Structure 1
Amino acid sequence: MLLSRKELSMVTKDDHEMRNQQEHLQQCCQELRNIDTKCRCPALKMMVTREPELMSQRARSLPRACNIEPTECYF
């Protein structure tokens, strides 16, 4: 979608960041869908082994955000 200069000037940083987050979530969801259901939680756990607690919490909730099973991972 192409925007006019006027429309571009009306796009705020927050709108841009929100779109980037949505695109990133969609990419993460697609990658997660490509992993066998029973392997999703172990793969997420492995990904965040060395990451801070916030990253771990986000990873545990990612399946729910993607609307795929399992909806929550416990690790």
Structure 2
Amino acid sequence: MFISRSHQHFNDELSMVTDDDHEINQAQEHLQQCCQELKNMDTQCRCPALKKMVMQDCGRQGEEAQRMLGKARYIPRMCNIQPTQCSF
């Protein structure tokens, strides 16, 4: 959810400079939920799970999938968990 939402909002340049507190709070909640789910997984399963989520759940392909994978790659760092970056 966090990746999908941030992808939707950050595609639009105007939304990158928005100060809509509701949008920011929602993004933080989604990130916290994502972090909690990742923390509940074995360390070696985190990156494969992120990749699978992007490729399957979002149904994206090609350039769009690559952009979303690029964002997903750094989620462990944002969650302050290991590995700090995924290599996919």
TM-score normalized by structure 1? 0.76
Q: Which runs of 5+ in 1 are unaligned?
A: 1-12
Look up the equivalent residue of 1:61 and give its one-letter code: Y
Query: Is 1:74 matched up with 2:87?
Result: yes
Map residues 16-35 of structure 1 onto 2, 5 A cutoff. Answer: 16-35=22-41
Look up the equivalent residue of 2:27 and give its one-letter code: Q
Q: Which runs of 5+ in 2 are unaligned?
A: 1-18
Aligned length: 64
Residue in structure 2 matched with residue 57 of structure 1 by the alignment: 70
Question: What is the CA–CA distance in structure 2 between the aligned matches of 1:45 and 1:29, rounded to whole Å?
Answer: 15
Q: CA RMSD in A?
A: 1.7
Question: Which has the larger Rg?
Answer: 1
User: CA offset at residue 47 of structure 1?
Assistant: 1.4
1:6-57 deviation line (CA, Å, top 9, x unaligned): xxxxxxx711100110011000000111110011111111112243222111
TM-score normalized by structure 2? 0.66
Q: Which protein, 1 or 2, shows the higher relative CO under an 8 Å CA cutoff with sep ≥ 6?
A: 2
Look up the equivalent residue of 2:30 and give its one-letter code: H
